[in-house]
A = this chain, B = another copy of it.
């Protein structure tokens, strides 16, 4: 599969819980960090957006947990993006690097509020194609 953006990361021990595996909420952190790094690479800073009263809001997130990541695992956090009306839909996959097994698959709907109003404010056209293929 082809992605618009890929980020190599590594599990930190404090992200693991009692069961010895990465706590589920941390995948959301991984995915958020990947989106923000992707936006930065596209010239869009989350912190600057916040300072300009442009708020990006996650409206909905779905994560399917496939293979638990553990202490010391490296992983590849990948994303594609498509636009659906006012929403940006991020398709985010996390692969364990050692065997490229799918660890988690997420779909994240993001909307932007400019001074409190829904707006299509991100200039992401060039990232929308040709990466994302409709199912």
> Chain A: residues with CB nearer than 8 A to chain B?
12-14, 16-20, 23-26, 28-29, 32-33, 36, 40, 45-47, 50, 55, 57-65, 68, 70-72
- Give the copy number: 4
Which residue from B24, B29, B46, B68 sits with its C-beta under 8 Å from A71? B46
User: When the two chains form their complex, are residues A33 and B18 in contact, meaning their CB atoms are under 8 A apart?
Assistant: no
CB of A109, distance to nearest CB on chain B (Å): 9
Q: Which residues of B have CB within 8 Å of A17?
A: 13-14, 16-18
CB of A93, distance to nearest CB on chain B (Å): 15
**How far apart are the CA atoms of A40 and B50 in the complex, in Å?**
26
User: When the two chains form their complex, are residues B40 and A32 in contact, meaning their CB atoms are under 8 A apart?
Assistant: no
**How far apart are the CA atoms of A39 and B38 in the complex, in Å?**
31
Chain B, residue nearest A32 (CB):
B14
